[in-house]
Amino acid sequence: MANSAIDCFIEATNSARCSAHIAELFASALNDFGYDRFCYSLITDHPSLGLNAGHGIQSNYPQDWISHYATNQYEKKDPVPRHCFHTNRPFTWDLVVKELELKKDEKKVMNEARDARLLEGIAVPICGQNGELAGVGMARSAKGGAPDRNVLSKIHALSQQFHLAYTDLERRNRSEEIIVLTAREKEILLWAADGKSDSVIAEILGISHSTVRFHMNNIFRKLHANERTLATVKAIRHGLILPSYVC
C-alpha cells in the first residue's frame, strides 16, 4: 500500500536535521490544503526546551505583519491564542469573531489580520507537558472556503507532528552536558532553597563558611547559574533535587 501524504510527512519530518527544513515541509503540506501561510508560536514558556514564550518561532506570514504584530504587542491582545487555553481542538478564526465577546482592541487585531491578507484562518492548540501550550495559526492569501471536519482533523494531525518533530530536534540541538552534584552540594543547595544563609548552613552542617561558599560556587558553575533561585530551578528541572524536599 502506498504511503499517504501524512505518512510521508511524518517520515520526512522525523528524519529532518534542521528546524528550517521541518518548517518547509510543514508549509508544503499545508499548501496542499490551500493554506499558504502559517505561524508557529509558543504561547507559554517551554522549560522543557529552555525557551520562553514567543510569537512566530517559525512562520511564513508576511514580514510586515509580523513586525506590526510585535511592535504593537498584539500577542497580549490577540483573541486566537487566548482561546487556545480553552480548547484542545482546532478552530477557525471565524468562530472566534462570531462566537466570542471580543473587546475593541481584539477586534482590531482580527480586522488588521484580514487586511494583511491572512484570510479564513485556522488555529491548532498544542498542549505539552506541565501545562506548556503552543499553537499553530494558518491562513490563506486568497479566499477558498471553510474547511470541513475531515480537513481540520488532517491539519490537526500535521500540526501535532510538526510540533513533535520540531521540539524533538530542538531538544537534541540544545542537549546539555550531564550534570552531577555531589551529595554535599545537593545538601547545601536544599538548605539554600529553604532560605538558609551561608553562615547558617555552615552551622547546621558543622563546616566552615568558606567551605559552604566553595560548594556553592561549584554548584553555580555546574548549573551555569549566578544566584541561588536559578540554581535551584535548574537543579529541580534536571532531577538533581526533589521539589518535595524543598520547603
Which pLDDT tens digit goes with each residue over 164-201?
Answer: 999 988 877 765 557 889 999 999 999 988 889 999 99
Grid cell locating 230: 536559578
Nearest to residue 191, comparing CAs of 235, 223, 226, 239? Answer: 235
For residue 11, give its domain range.
5-173
Q: Are residues 187 and 232 in the same domain?
A: yes
Q: What is the pLDDT of residue 247?
A: 41
Q: Are residues 190 and 92 in the same domain?
A: no
**Domain stops at, among 173, 196, 221:** 173
Q: What is the mean pLDDT of the chain?
A: 90
**Domain stops at, among 127, 151, 173:** 173
Is it the case that residue 154 has pLDDT exceeding 70?
yes
Cβ contact 44:53 at 8 Å: yes
Residue 228 φ then ψ, to 5°: -65, -40
Number of Cβ within a 10 Å radius of residue 3: 10
Q: What is the pLDDT of residue 3?
A: 59
Angle between helices 149-173 and 5-15 (to 10 degrees): 10
Longest dimension (CA), the chain: 74
Q: Are residues 62 and 158 in the same domain?
A: yes
Is it the case that residue 2 has pLDDT exceeding 60?
no
Q: Are residues 158 and 190 in the same domain?
A: no
Is it the case that residue 71 has pLDDT exceeding 70?
yes
Q: Are residues 22 and 98 in the same domain?
A: yes
pTM beyond 0.85? no
Q: Determine the average pLDDT of the residues in 25-50.
A: 92
How far apart, in Å, are the Cα atoms of 160 and each of 42, 94, 105, 180, 224? 13, 22, 30, 34, 32
Is it the case that residue 1 has pLDDT exceeding 70?
no
Nearest to residue 136, comparing CAs of 84, 87, 96, 67? Answer: 84
